[in-house]
Every structure is written in structure tokens, then in C-alpha cells.
Homo-oligomer: A and B are copies of this chain.
Amino acid sequence: MTEQVCYPQVKNIGLRGIPVADTRISVVDGVQGELQYRGFSIEDLAGQATFEEVVYLLFYGKLPSGSQLDFFSNQLRAARALAPEILEILAGRPVTAGPMDVLQGTVPLLADWDPDLGDASRESFQRQALRLTAQLATVLAAWHRIRKGLKPVSPRDDLGHAANFLYMLSGKEPSEHMARTLDICLVLHADHTFNASTFTARQVASSRAHMYASVAAAIGALSGELHGGANTRVMEMIMEIGSVDKVAEYIKARLDAGERIMGMGHAVYKTIDPRAPILLEMSRELCSQTGDQRLLEITEEVCRVTQAEFRTRKDMDIFPNVDFYSGITYSLMGIEPDLFTPMFAISRVAGWCAHVIEERFAEAQEKPALYRPKAEYIGEYCGDRGCTFTPLEERG
């Protein structure tokens, strides 16, 4: 392979646009605004598939038959409950702990109880992926109740993944509409090719770390405000603005200060993120049910003003991304802002697991060895032998 591949630059562009591996899991067309999981459009999946179907699709590469889905869903249901020791450990954390820190800290605990941990076969990784996907939602719901001083609610095995999560969170069985709304949110967030957290998961897996170590790392990456943390930050902004008539002033001041508007713009999409209109439609539906339009009106105004300002200031189009409308959707479902990013995690865990499996078990020519880039050293340099080391006692 002596063919040269040339890029405008590699250093300091965060690897944008640089292909580092092959994947069969999902594909994004940033210009057309298309997202597909395993060849199926996100619109079809959001419109017609459940989260469980999508998890199966991501893990196994094809849509399940009816009996395959039944079997898989039953396995997911059977894996939901946490060891009592894990609930006790959760109860030992201060109620002020960040929910993302709780998820990241609990995933390595789940490993302690996984009987497949020492088995590095593909089948073992698939079983671990299933347990982790089932249990992360339980961890989040349990933690939320614990921090509110409530007793965790045990999972039910007669509810789908989304409905059961809402049940464990509130102790009440959700309406079919609420359950399907969350189900669609989970479908929308389940994968997005080599985003920052998925790349983190794959990178950790490339050292042959196990599934849980890889996913715990990915949770760390997702927690940042430039990644999954953005949806919480969007909601904080909406709350801070407080009313539609204050939007223009707020956005202009932020842009004047050179700050970014959270949830607007995307690393890959140069047009509208295809997940955004689906979330917007669900928010509108939720608003029409509750009758409270205030937050959605502010949200839509933030989008309009930001787009207008970008056109005026930079002659540039900017579009809302998935984080822009997921917050408002969750908020209208009665969910607190600091759960938005963890709820991203309980869906994306499916994608992370699928990518870890691909990283570990793809053909060698489709994936790299350990990801180990280089840095350009720009620090102190005194030649091969190093700078003169003055012993401590002579340093004064």
C-alpha cells in the first residue's frame, strides 16, 4: 500500500473528515441530511420500528423476524434487574452526584456481575452488549429515585424498554403515547457512526479492553457539553431566556461575545439534522396535549433568530441538531434537564456496543490495530540527551 492519501491538514482539526476505519453499522450523509442504520433510513426506523428492533438491527446487522424479536426482547427483559449490591452502592453516593458520573462509575460495577466477562468471543460480547443495554436504563432510573429519596422501582417484564424505563423512573405505568414518544427518542439516538463517544469506545476496545471498560469510557466522552452534554445546555439556555420576547437580545449578546448557541450547527450535517424535525414534531404533539406552548415557542424562536443572525453576520446557514429538540421533548415529558444527557446514553449504549463488537471482531483489513496517533512536540528541547537536570538541592 504505497498509494498516497492527502489532506489539507490533519493536525489540530480533530480528525474531521479523516477516515480511520471501516464500518457497516451506520452512515451519515451530511450534505443530504440523511442518517441510516444498517441501510435503513432513520425516518423509517423512527416511524415503524421499536428501540428493541433497532438494538437487534445494530447488534446483528439485520431486522429481526417476529420470533427473533420476541426471543431478543425477552432476553433484554430478563437482564433488566440489578444486583442488590449495586443498588446499595448507588445509595452510597451523595445525592449531588452528577448523573453522568453515576452512569460512568456504575458500568464497571455491572462488569463485576457479568458471567461472560472473561470470555472474549463474539457471542460473549453480544451477551454482554445485551445486558449492558438492558441494565443502563435501570441504573439511571434507580439513581434518579435514590437521589430524590425514593425507593428504586424494580423493572417489570411485561413492558417494552421505553415504557419500563418511564415506569421505573416514576413508579407509574406511562400512557402508550408517552412510551412511544420515548421509544422514538431512543431509536433516534441509538447510533451516529464515528461520533466522539463511539470513537472513544472503539479506541478503548482496540486495546482489547472489555465491553464495560469501553462503554464507561464512552460515557465520559458523551458527558462533555460539546457532545451529549449539549441537550442539557440547550434546556438551560431556554429556561434562562424565559420568554419569547427576550430571545433576540439573548442570542445577539451570545454571538457578540463569540459564544456558540448550543444545539445549533453540527460537525457533520451541513443541512438539517434528520433527527431534529422528528423530535420537533413530537414536541408539538406533546404541547398540544399539555396546552403549554411557552418552552417550545422560545425554542423555535431561538432557532429562527440564530439562523437569521448567521445569515446577516456570516452569510451562512446554520441548522438545529438532535440536541436542540431532544431537551424540549424530554422536558414536555416531565423529565428533568440533568437527565437529558444520561437518557442519550441509555440509547447510545446500543450503538457503542455494536461498534465495540465491530472493532473487536471485524476482518483485520477493515479495522486498525490500537489507535495510537502522534503528537507534534513543541515543548522544551535540548537535544537527544535532554536538558541539564539540576538536582533538587542545587535548585534553591
Contacts and interface: CB of A to CB of B under 8 A. Distances in A.
Interface of A: 1-27, 29, 32, 34, 36, 38-41, 43-45, 48-49, 53, 61, 63-66, 69, 85, 88-89, 92-94, 96-98, 100-102, 104-109, 111-113, 117, 193-197, 199-200, 203-210, 212-214, 216-227, 229, 267-268, 365-382, 384-387, 389-393, 395-396
Contacts of A384: 29, 32, 34
Contact of A7 (B5, B39, B49): B5
A87 B243 CA distance: 47
24 contacts: A1-B9, A5-B9, A7-B10, A10-B10, A15-B373, A15-B374, A16-B374, A20-B374, A22-B376, A23-B375, A24-B379, A36-B381, A41-B389, A66-B392, A66-B395, A92-B92, A98-B112, A104-B108, A204-B221, A207-B222, A207-B229, A214-B220, A217-B220, A267-B370
A213 B207 contact: no
Contacts of A206: 14, 196, 224, 226
Given A36-B381, A69-B392, 19 more contacts: A5-B6, A7-B7, A14-B370, A15-B20, A15-B373, A15-B374, A20-B375, A23-B375, A24-B380, A49-B389, A63-B395, A96-B112, A200-B200, A206-B226, A207-B226, A208-B226, A216-B217, A217-B221, A366-B378
Nearest to A18: B373
B101 A112 contact: yes
B194 A369 contact: no
B3 A9 contact: yes
B108 A12 contact: no
Nearest to A69: B392
Contacts of A107: 105
B22 A378 contact: yes
A379 to B, nearest CB: 3
A40 B213 contact: no
A112 B89 contact: no
Nearest to A87: B92
Contacts of A104: 108, 213, 216
Contacts of A380: 24, 38-39, 61
